Amino acid sequence: MSLLDPRLTPARPDLAARHLEGTVEAERFVEGTVLEVVDAQAPLRRAPSGDAPLETEALMGERAIVYEISDEGWAWGQLEGDRYVGYLPANALASPGAPPTHKVAALRTLIFPGPSIKLPPTAAPSLGARLVIVRHEERFAVTAAGGFVPAAHLVPLGHNAQDFVAVAERFVGVPYLWGGRTSFGLDCSGLVQVALGASGVAAPRDTDMQERSLGAVVTANAEHSDLRRGDLMFWKGHVAIVRDPSTLLHANAFHMAVALEPIAEAISRIRATDGEPTGVRRM
C-alpha cells in the first residue's frame, strides 16, 4: 500500500502529521495527540459533517492519533489500529486511561450503571470493543469507569476465537451498512475485519487492501470446487467468506444484510454487475 494512499495518510493541503514533513506538502505540520474512543462506537467520516459518507467506525477502547479538533467538534486524525484517516466526533474521544484488559466477545453487550440488569444501560458496545476491567462482582465485570458488564460477554484481551468463519456466521441477518463494523450494521470488508480481529488477525479496512495483504493467493479452478472454509473471495469492491465448498457468507447490498448464499449463484449474480471474481486468498 502506497504511503500516499489518502485513506491511510494524515495529510491535507493545510495540515499534515509531523512525521510526513518532507514527504508531502502542507501549510503546517503538527504532532498528534493520542485519544481513546469512549462511546460504544464512533463514526469516522470523510468530511467534518454528520451528513458526510461513513468511511468506517471506531469501537470503544480503540485509539486514534488526533491532529486537529475543530470549533465545530470534529477531530481529524488516524486510527491506530487499521490506520484509517478521517473525522471523528470529538465528544466520542477522551484522554487514554489504563490499557484495555478485556474485549467484547458477544455480538453486543450492555454496560449498566450498577450491578442490576434492571437499570437502564448507559452504553451498548459491540464485538471487539475493548474495556478496562478492574474487578468482578458476581456475574458482572466492573470497568475502570464504574460500569457493570455481563462477564459472560467478555474475554481477556489476548483470547482469540479459533474459527473466524464461525464468528462471521453470528452476524447473519445483520443489516448491510456501508462503513459499518458493528451488529447494528456492517459492510463486506467490515465483516471480514471484525471476524478476523476476533481471531487475532489484524486486517486492513477495505477490500482492495485485504486482497493485497491477507493470506496467500489461491489459484481456484474454473468451477471453484477446490475452495476451503475460510477462503476469501474477492470481486472489484467486494469480498465474501467461503463457509464451505458450496456456500459463502457476505455482507452485501443485494440482500441488504449479512447473508449465506450458494457460491455458484453469487458468482452468476455478481457477474452481471461487477464481473468475475478477481482473486481468492487463503487464510
Which grid cell sits at 21? 514533513
pLDDT digits (tens, 9 = 90+) for 177-235: 999 999 999 999 999 999 999 999 999 999 999 999 999 999 877 667 789 999 999 99
pLDDT of 192 reads 98
Alpha helices by DSSP H, listed for 108-243, are 164-169, 188-198, 207-213
111-116 CB contacts, 8 Å cutoff, 24+ apart: 111/143, 111/147, 111/148, 111/149, 112/140, 112/147, 112/148, 112/149, 113/146, 113/147, 113/148, 114/148, 115/140, 115/148, 116/148
Q: Which residues of 254-281 are buried (b: 16+ CB within 10 A; e: fewer)?
A: eeebbbebebeebbeebeeeeeebbebb
pLDDT digits (tens, 9 = 90+) for 104-113: 999 999 999 9
Look at residues 165, 157, 184 and name the one whose alpha carbon lies nearest to residue 241.
165
pLDDT digits (tens, 9 = 90+) for 52-68: 999 999 999 999 999 99
Backbone angles phi, psi at 145, to 5 degrees: -85, 0
The CA distance from 273 to 267, in Å, is 10
pLDDT digits (tens, 9 = 90+) for 66-110: 999 999 999 999 999 999 999 999 999 999 999 999 999 999 999
Residue type for 5, please? D
pLDDT of 1 reads 40
